[in-house]
């Protein structure tokens, strides 16, 4: 169980060295031809791996990956783990508050898709989410019914 100071610290870490995003990836094996992939990633230089590992162990909802460029990524990709993490940081996050709230909404809608129109509404929300994040490679992808 995390205390208030730990929750606040983790929220600040997300604000400064983290990313919240959701991808809509073409995949014909899914019902509407797209896979919805939400993620939360925290970043740190491999030079500070010992301290970063301590933070990851506190969170305990994802896995650590070492990139070839010397950057560590702590990746949370399972929906239930993302929800738990967002509950932890929501009261404390400042810079990524819109992303946190919209990700919660996206996860809620994702669980209740009943038809193609529901899926299209979700895809539009995902495009809205992408506008909140900086990306050099951003492509707007709106599906039509």
Active site residue 33: no
17 is catalytic: yes
Contact 15, 7 (CB under 8 A): no
From 12, 15, 17, 127, the catalytic residue: 17
Active site residue: 16, 33, 48, 70, which one?
16
* Separation CA 145–CA 143 (nearest Å): 7
Do residues 129 and 21 touch, judged by C-beta distance below 8 A?
yes
| Residues with Cβ within 8 Å of residue 138, at least 6 apart in sequence | 130
**Residue 122, Cβ density class (10 Å: 0-12 exposed, 13-18 middle, ≥19 buried):** buried
State the Cα angle at 23 between 33 and 19, rounded to 5°.
170
Active-site residues, by number, are 16-17
């Amino acid at each position: 169980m995390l205390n208030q100071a730990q929750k606040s610290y983790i929220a600040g870490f997300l604000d400064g060295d983290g990313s919240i995003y959701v991808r809509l990836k073409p995949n014909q094996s899914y019902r509407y031809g797209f896979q919805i992939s939400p993620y939360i990633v925290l970043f740190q230089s491999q030079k500070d791996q010992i301290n970063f590992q301590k933070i990851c162990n506190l969170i305990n909802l994802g896995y650590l990956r070492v990139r070839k460029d010397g950057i560590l990524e702590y990746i949370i990709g399972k929906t239930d783990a993302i929800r738990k993490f967002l509950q932890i940081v929501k009261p404390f996050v400042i810079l990524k508050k819109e992303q946190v709230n919209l990700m919660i909404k996206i996860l809620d809608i994702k669980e209740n898709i009943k038809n193609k129109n529901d899926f299209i509404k979700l895809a539009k929300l995902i495009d809205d989410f992408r506008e909140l994040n900086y990306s050099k490679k951003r492509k707007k992808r709106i599906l039509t019914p």
